[in-house]
Amino acid sequence: MHDPSALSQDTIVDNLDPKEAARLDKVRNIGIAAHIDSGKTTVTERVLFYTGRINAIHEVRGRDAVGAKMDSMDLEREKGITIKSAATYCDWIKKQPDPVSGEMKNENYNINLIDTPGHIDFTIEVERALRVLDGAVMILCAVSGVQSQTVTVDRQMRRYNVPRISFVNKMDRAGANPWKAVDGINQKLRIPAAAVQVPIGAEDDFKGVVDLVRMKAIYSEGQRGEIVREDEVPNDLREFAQEKRRLLIETLADVDEEIANAFLDERTPSPQEIKAAIRRATLSLKFTPVLMGSALADKGVQPMLDAVCDYLPNPSEVENLALDQRRQETPVKLVSYNSLPFVGLAFKLEESNFGQLTYIRVYQGQLRKGLNVTNARTGQKVKIPRIVRMHSNEMEDVQDIGAGEICAVFGVDCASGDTFTDGGLGYSMTSMYVPDPVISLSIKPKHTKDTPNFSKAIARFQREDPTFRVHVDTESGESIISGMGELHLSIYIERMKREYGVEVITGQPQVAYRETITNHTPFDHLLKKQTGGAGDYARVVGFMEPTGQLGENAFEQRIVGGTISEKFLFACEKGFQDSCHTGPLIGHRVLGARMIINDGATHMTDSSEHAFRTATRQAFRKAFMAAGPQVLEPLMKTVITAPNEFQGNIVGILNKRNAVISDTEIGPEEFTVTADCSLNAMFGFSSQLRASSQGKGEFSMEFSHYAPAPGQLQKELVAKYEKERAGKK
C-alpha cells in the first residue's frame, strides 16, 4: 500500500499515471447554482434528456403535472421549487475536432450533476454541494442579470474556490439582454467575465448561438433541440461577433499571460490558444466564460455541456485536503488515484424506500462493494453492502466507484459531513461551514400515538441537515426545533405530515436573540459558605469588557503568583461558558463579551472546582448587569422581487415593519428591493406578501448580523424574562 502522505500532489500530478490521467480527464463533478427561478431545474431536465438519461422532458409546474425529473419530492413538484439537491450521473458525448486532422470525433465524458436549491432557507444544501464539487455552472436570468442570490451563490463559490462557467438562461424572454448579465458579473460580482458566445436572434426568434472561439454558428433544432447543427456565422452577425471576440481576447489578456503576450505582439491567438486560456483562467478562479441559451426553448444547452467539459476542472485539477487525526500538523493532500487507500466524504443523507441512502464523494482510492471502511468521527467500522449511481430518484447498482467520483451507498449509518477511510488512515476532511440557526419553535405531536414516528422524523431530519437542530428545553420539557427561517422550519413540519403521517402542534416561533455588554466593568466577588461541614470558598477578581464588533466570547486568566490554581481556573472558564450559554439579561446566548480574571483567593480546605465555577457565574452576572447590558436581535437581509405594479404595496409593508431599504432595482417587468429587517418584525411576512402581490411576489431572507434591539422590545423581553424567573421561584 502506498503511503499517500509521502506523496505530494505536485509529484503525483506531474507524473500522473497515463491510465489514471485519461480516466480522470473525462470526469466532471458539477453543481448548478443560481438565484431562485433562474431555471436550474429546467436546465437540468434538458441535460438529462440530451445525455439520454430520460426519454421525455417534463416542465417544472408543467401542464402534464408530472413535474421535472430532478424535483422528485411531492412537495417540490407542487410548489415548483427545489428543496433538496439531487445528484445525477450522466454521460455526455462531446464532439471534438481532432487537433491534427480537424475531423470531428466523439469523446465520452462522465458528469455528476447536482441540482442545488436556490431558496436561502436551504443554503446548507448549496454549501454541501459546493463543498464536494469541482466546478459549477452559475445560471443567470437574461432579463434580470445578477440578482441578490447570485451574489450569495458567488460568495459560496468563493468560499470553496469553485471555478465556474456562467449560463445566461431565458434568452427567449421579452427584454432578454445577455450583456447586462455579463456587465453584472464584472461589476457586481467583480470577476472578470466575457461572453464566449453571441445570440442568434432574440426573444421569440432566438435560434442559437455563435461560438466565438471557433467562430461557428450553433443551432439547436429538431422537436426538442436535440439536433445540433453547425454552420457559418450569419452575415449580419459577423461584425458583432468579431467585436465580442476581440473583447473576449482583451479580457483574457488581463488575466492570462500567454494571451497578454500574444496581445502585445499584436497577434490574434488561435482558437486552441483561446480555449486553453479560458480553461487556465477559469480554473485559477480569475475568469468566468459566459454562455447563453434558453432551456425552456431547448436552445444552447448542448454547447453549455461542451463548455463544462472544456472549461471546468477534472478531479485531479482540484486540491483537496484532509487532516491526519494522528498528526494534526499540516493537512494532507488527497489524490484521486484509484490505487491509493480510500478516503470519502458523506455529504448528504436521504431516506429512500430501501433505507438510508448516503451520498459519498470519493476523494482518493476506490470504493468497492464489500469494502470495510472506518468512520473517522466515531471510529466505527462498516462494510459497504451496496453502491449505486443516482439518476435523480432512480438508481443503478455498481460494483465500485473510482477516485474523484460521486455515488450513493446503502446500509451506512452516519451523519452528514462524516469522513470514511480505508484501513489505518486516520484522515478527516475539513468540515463544512454551518451557519447558526436564527429561529426556533416548540413542537409536539398532536396525537401521542404518533410519538415514535415523530422521534424518527426528527432524528432523520437532524442527520440530514446540520442547520436543523433540536433540543429539549430543560425547564418546560418541550422539544424545540431551530433553523434558518420560517420557511425552513415549515418545510420540515410539512414533511413530517407527508412522509411520517405525523401532525404536530407548534408554538410561536422564537427569535434567537443574543445579549451583550457595552462597558468595561471590574468585579471582585467572594463566595463564602463556611457554616458547619464542608464549606465553599472562592474569590475571583477581574473585569468584563465588550470584545468589539460582537466577536466570539473570550475568557482570559492573567493570574500572577498562583492565587488561583490551574485546576480552579479551568473551573472558572467552565463557569464563564455556562454564563455565556444562558445570559443574565433574558436567558439567551451571550455574544461579544470578554471576562478577565487577574486575581483571587483560595481557601486551604473549602475551595473546590464547584466553588470557583459558581463564583465565576455569580461574578459574571453581577458584572454583566452593571456593564450596560443590551439585547441583540438578528437582522435579516431580505430580498423581494415582484411585478412592478406591486412596488407601492410592498414598500408600504416593509416600512410598516421598520425595514431599512438598501437597494431598489427596477427592471422592465419586475422590481427587486433589498432591505435589512429585524427577524422579529418579519413573522407572517410571506402570507402578507402573497396577499399584496396576487401571489406573484417572491422573497428570500438570509441572516445578516446581530444589532441592538429597539428599546421598547428590550424592555418587554427583560420584563417577560423576569416574570418567568419570578414564577419559577
Three-class SS of 562-597: CCCCHHHHHHHHHHHHHHHHCCCCCCCEECCEEEEE
Q: Give least dist CB 565 to ligand GTP, A.
A: 58
Nearest distance, CB of residue 701 and ligand GTP, angstroms: 15
Q: How far is the CB of 295 from ligand GTP (least distance, A)?
A: 4
**Binding status of residue 90 toward ligand GTP by CB under 6 A:** no
Q: Which of 4, 39, 67, 629 binds ligand GTP (CB under 6 A)?
A: 39
Separation of alpha carbons 597 and 592, rounded Å: 17
Residue 41 binding ligand GTP, by CB under 6 A: yes
618 scored as a contact of ligand GTP (CB under 6 A): no
DSSP 221: E
User: Interacting stretch for ligand GTP, rule CB under 6 A, among 80-88, 320-328, 356-364, 532-540?
Assistant: 80-88
Q: Do the annotations mark residue 544 as ligand-binding?
A: no
Question: H/E element holding 610?
Answer: helix 609-626
Q: Which stretch binds ligand GTP (CB under 6 A): 78-86, 528-536, 603-611, 705-713?
A: 78-86
Q: How far is the CB of 264 from ligand GTP (least distance, A)?
A: 40
Residue closer to ligand GTP by CB (options 245, 637) is 637
Site size for ligand GTP (CB under 6 A):
24
Cβ 584 vs Cβ 569: under 8 Å: no
CA atoms of 296 and 138, how far apart (whole Å): 17
Cβ neighbours, 10 Å, residue 636: 26
Strand partners, 557: 597
21 is in an annotated binding site: no
**Least CB distance to ligand GTP at residue 38 (A):** 5
Does 701 sit near ligand GTP (CB under 6 A)?
no
Quote the least distance from Cβ 219 to ligand GTP, whole Å. Answer: 16
| SS3 assignment for 356-413 | EEEEEEEEECCEECCCEEEECCCCCEEECCEEEEEECCEEEEECEECCCCEEEEECCC
Q: Is 117 annotated as a binding residue?
A: yes
- Write out the three cell numbers for 381: 467500522
Interface with ligand GTP by CB under 6 A: which range of 76-84, 379-387, 480-488, 499-507?
76-84
Tell me whether residue 37 is annotated as binding: yes
Q: Taking the complex as a whole, how short is the minimal distance between the CB of residue 310 and ligand GTP, in angstroms?
A: 22
**Alpha-carbon gap, residue 554 to 222, rounded angstroms:** 65
Answer yes or no: is 116 a known binding residue. yes
* Range 645-684, binding ligand GTP (CB under 6 A): none
123 φ/ψ angles, rounded to the nearest 5 degrees: -50, -40
In this chain, which of 118, 145, 509, 629 binds ligand GTP, going by CB under 6 A? Answer: 118
119 is in an annotated binding site: yes
The verdict on whether residue 115 carries a ligand-binding annotation is yes
Amino acid identity, residue 315?
P
Residue 295 interacts with ligand GTP (CB under 6 A): yes or no = yes
468 contacts: CB under 8 Å, gap ≥ 6: 437, 461, 462, 481, 482, 483, 488, 489, 492
**From the centroid of its chain, how far is CA 638?**
18
Was 35 annotated as part of a binding site?
yes
The nearest distance, CB 3 to ligand GTP, in angstroms, is: 44
By CB under 6 A, tell whether 38 contacts ligand GTP: yes
Is position 77 an interface residue for ligand GTP (rule: CB under 6 A)?
A: no
Q: Does 152 bind ligand GTP (CB under 6 A)?
A: no
Name the DSSP letter for residue 294: B
Verify binding: residue 634, ligand GTP, rule CB under 6 A. Answer: no
697 is a contact residue toward ligand GTP (CB under 6 A) = no
- Is residue 42 part of the contact set for ligand GTP (CB under 6 A)? yes
Q: Residue 462 CB: number of other CB atoms within 10 A?
A: 17
- Regarding 495 and contact with ligand GTP (CB under 6 A), the answer is no
Looking at 24, 30, 57, 60, which residue binds ligand GTP (CB under 6 A)?
60
Q: Is 58 among the residues that bind ligand GTP (CB under 6 A)?
A: no
- Per CB under 6 A, which region of 38-46, 237-245, 316-324, 541-549 contacts ligand GTP? 38-46
- Per the annotation, does 169 bind a ligand? yes
Does 136 help bind ligand GTP (rule: CB under 6 A)? no
Contact set for ligand GTP, span 163-222 (CB under 6 A): 169-170, 172-173
- Distance in Å, CB of 358 to ligand GTP, minimum: 23
Closer by beta carbon to ligand GTP, 169 or else 314? 169
Q: What's the half-sphere exposure (Cβ side, CA atoms, 13 Å) at 599?
A: 8
Nearer to ligand GTP, 161 or 694 (CB): 694
How far apart are the C-alpha atoms of 398 and 356, rounded to whole Å? 17
Query: Quick check: 601 and 528 in contact, CB under 8 A?
Result: no
Chosen residue from 81, 241, 489, 632 binding ligand GTP by CB under 6 A = 81
Per-residue 3-state assignment (H helix, E strand, C coil) for 84-106 = CCEEEEEEEEEEEECCCCCCEEE
Residue 296 found at the interface with ligand GTP (CB under 6 A): yes
Q: How far is CA 723 from the centre of its chain?
A: 40
Does 598 belong to an annotated binding site? no
In this structure, the strands spanning 660-666 and 670-678 are antiparallel
Closer residue to ligand GTP, CB minimum distance, 58 or 286? 58
Q: What's the angle, vertex CA 183, arms to CA 179 and CA 189, rounded to 5? A: 140
Is residue 618 a contact partner of residue 574, using CB atoms and an 8 Å limit? no
Q: Does 392 bind ligand GTP (CB under 6 A)?
A: no
Q: Residues 6 or more apart from 697 whose CB is under 8 A from it? A: 640, 641, 642, 646, 650, 689, 690
DSSP 538: E
Nearest to 43 by CA among 166, 149, 164: 166
- 38 annotated to a ligand binding site: yes
By CB under 6 A, which span of 47-55, 74-82, 447-455, 470-478 interacts with ligand GTP? Answer: 74-82
Are 361 and 318 in contact by the 8 Å Cβ rule? The answer is no
377 lines the binding site for ligand GTP (CB under 6 A): no
> Residue 450, interface with ligand GTP (CB under 6 A)?
no
Q: How many helices and strands (H and E) does the chain possess? A: 18, 39
Does position 61 interact with ligand GTP (CB under 6 A)? The reply is yes
Residue 69 as a binder of ligand GTP (CB under 6 A): the answer is: no
Per CB under 6 A, 46 contacts ligand GTP = no
Q: Which residues bind ligand GTP (CB under 6 A)?
A: 34, 36-42, 59-61, 80-82, 117-118, 169-170, 172-173, 294-297
Residues annotated in a binding site: 34-41, 115-119, 169-172
Residues annotated in a binding site for GTP: 34-41, 115-119, 169-172
